[in-house]
Amino acid sequence: MMGENGGRLPVFQIKPMLAVAGRPFDSPDFIYEVKWDGYRCLAYLDRKTVLQSRNLLDITPAFPELAGLYHRVGMQPAVLDGEIVVPGEKGRPSFSRLQARGRLADPLKIRQAALQTPAVFVAFDLLYCRGENIMPQPLHWRKGLLQEAVQPGDNLVISSFIETHGTTFFAACARQGLEGVMAKAKESPYLPGRRSSHWRKIRHIRQGEFIIVGYEPGTGGRRLGALILGTYRQGRLAYRGKVGTGFDREEEQMLLGELKKLKEVPPPFGEPVPGLTRPRWVEPRLVCTVEYLEQTPDGRLRHPSYRGLRWDKEPGE
């Protein structure tokens, strides 16, 4: 994209800056904003709009309702960093609705979905302004320029933030059912493609107990690929997803030892479960604790992580 000043925006060359995991904290050197549950996106704006995913794909055709973003942003040529979200109940971002949008390929269905479940671009950083690379500038300076450049509208908002009081802000976001908080150092430059402690993602994690109904064998150096999880609903087992993280080699050996003691059984669910690799089904006798981000509308766990067996729990509890 060639700007009016002759500068060329590096379309599909900027990888977004990434954050490290963290816990709630307070600091006058950081700002705190909502961690939006959507698709990370860079918006290249120069008399038209081009949307780039975090893995450098052109996702502009998937969100036709965002084509007019460039009308609401001054100081072009410009590049915004942000998140594409689809509001759900009570205005909270709904990742399941967004995923449904992202799976569409038919142009007619995409246009219909844009009217029925429109997406919003939440801008939280400005990387290029008037064709100039401002990524080396400190975050607080870029935030100020972002406020000047963007005129919010139905499909474009600026992510608000607070200073210093990260712990209180995290608790408020958790009460609202939001994904979590991003903490960002005020003086930090934008480091494209790098994961830096200048930015910290603090997720609101949920926890529950689930029945181990089977497992997937591992590959390579791993003997256990994932545990297959279920819970009882009206007396029948329902699939809740699978978890393949959170156990080290020692825990992996212990789990396999316990699973081998159980009798193999037919698939426990009423219908086939897609996405499983060579599943081995066992008696539903073991219960484990799993941390997860949220549940999808059909009860599947998002971003699950194993936390241990519950020897004190019975599957029917």
The single residue listed with the structure tokens 């991003």 is 182
Is 143 designated active site? no
Ranges assigned E (strand) in the chain: 18-21, 27-34, 39-45, 49-53, 78-85, 120-129, 132-133, 156-158, 161-164, 180-185, 195-203, 206-217, 224-233, 236-243, 280-292, 294-295, 301-302, 305-309
Question: Residue 58 and residue 42: Cα distance in Å, rounded?
Answer: 10
Catalytic-role residue among 15, 35, 201, 242: 35
Tokens for 31, please give them: 């700002």
Cβ atoms within 10 A of the Cβ of 16, count? Answer: 23
The span from the CA of 53 to the CA of 98, in Å, is: 14
Query: Which residues 6+ apart lie within 8 Å of 134 measured at CB?
Result: 126, 127, 128, 141, 142, 145
Active site residues: 35
